[in-house]
Amino acid sequence: MTLVEDDAQLFDADDPFELFDRWFAEATASEPNDPNAMALATVDAEGLPDVRMVLLKGHDPRGFVFYTNSQSAKGRELAGQPQAALLFHWKSLRRQVRVRGRVEGVSEAESDAYFASRPRGSQIGAWASDQSATLSARSVLEGKVSAFDAKFDGAAVPRPPHWRGYRIMPAQIEFWRDRRSRLHERRLFSRADGDEPWASRMLYP
Using one digit for the tens of pLDDT, what is the confidence trace for 78-92? 999 999 999 999 999
Distance CA 172, CA 200 (A): 10
Contact 28, 38 (CB under 8 A): no
Q: Which residues are catalytic?
A: 182
49 domain-assigned: yes
Question: CATH code at 104?
Answer: 2.30.110.10
195 domain-assigned: yes
100 domain-assigned: yes
For 96-120, write each residue's pLDDT tens digit.
Answer: 999 999 999 999 999 999 999 999 9
pLDDT at 8: 62
127 domain-assigned: no
Q: What percent of the chain lies above the pLDDT cut of 90?
A: 91
122 domain-assigned: no
Of 118, 99, 128, 131, give the one whose Cα is nearest residue 57. 118
41 domain-assigned: yes
Of 100, 93, 87, give the one whose Cα is nearest residue 177. 93
User: Domain total for the chain?
Assistant: 1
Range of the domain at 43: 8-117+161-203
38 domain-assigned: yes
